[in-house]
């Protein structure tokens, strides 16, 4: 019975993740609610989709930070190490920004080191991976790797990871009333642009032999 329940929860979480990536909310039977931004924090309102985006992007970034920090100790080549440090610094700062955005609006604030997004469905809370994130098994394989093998697994994994973030931005922009808030719009647009550029760079790095 426990195995069956675990399987049901696993398939539920996969379905939720795919729904998010496909633009959940845009065609939802229950439209996202729109909220007035607190005084002094912006001119435009924010929505349930904005809250979900920021809450889900925190664990997404948290895993990228973990992956990036391993480059220092896992024998990454120089260009991979430089990229990793950029990811660690940039996404750590963005995690702090997202936490503050949620805090300012009285929303639950995910832990900066948690790599699971907590989603409630039918009165139950589920821990789930966001689009593009590495599974526990993939993270274990990356942690075990050293040198060229680490470089390969890191680049392949981070390309998927970045594409997942881009999918999350696409879903946000398709959601009703989303991305009106100035901070949300600017941040989501930056994620799309920066991570698209880094995907192209990492794909080139995969082909380099150093």
Dist. CA 60–CA 13, nearest whole Å? 15
β strands within the chain, DSSP E: 34-35, 46-47, 117-121, 124-128
* CATH number of the domain where residue 112 is located: 1.20.1260.10
Residue-range definition of the domain harbouring residue 39: 2-207
The model carries a pTM of 0.83
Count of structural domains within the chain: 1
Burial (CB count <10 Å: 0-12, 13-18, 19+), residue 98: buried
- Whether 21 and 172 have beta carbons less than 8 Å apart is answered as no
Q: Residue 3 has what pLDDT? A: 43
pLDDT tens, residue by residue, 109-151 = 999 999 998 877 677 777 899 999 999 999 999 999 999 999 9
pLDDT tens, residue by residue, 64-87 = 999 999 999 999 999 999 999 999
Q: Residue 103 has what pLDDT? A: 98
């Amino acid at each position: 019975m426990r195995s069956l329940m675990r399987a049901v929860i696993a398939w539920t979480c996969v379905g939720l993740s795919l729904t998010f990536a496909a633009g959940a909310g845009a065609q939802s039977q229950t439209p996202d609610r729109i909220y007035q931004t607190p005084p002094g924090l912006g001119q435009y309102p924010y929505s349930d989709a904005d809250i979900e985006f920021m809450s889900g992007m925190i664990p997404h970034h948290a895993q990228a930070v973990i992956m990036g920090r391993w480059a220092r100790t896992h024998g990454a080549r120089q260009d991979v190490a430089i990229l990793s440090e950029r990811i660690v610094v940039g996404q750590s700062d963005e995690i702090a920004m997202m936490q503050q955005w949620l805090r300012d609006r009285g929303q639950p604030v995910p832990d900066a080191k948690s790599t699971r997004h907590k989603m409630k469905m039918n009165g139950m809370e589920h821990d789930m991976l966001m689009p593009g994130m590495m599974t526990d098994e993939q993270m274990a394989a990356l942690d075990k790797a050293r040198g060229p093998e680490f470089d390969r697994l890191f680049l392949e994994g981070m390309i998927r990871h970045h594409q997942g973030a881009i999918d999350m931005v696409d879903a946000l922009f398709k959601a009703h009333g989303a991305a009106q808030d100035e901070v949300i719009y600017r941040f989501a647009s930056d994620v799309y642009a920066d991570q698209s550029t880094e995907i192209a760079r990492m794909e080139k790095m995969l082909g380099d032999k150093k």
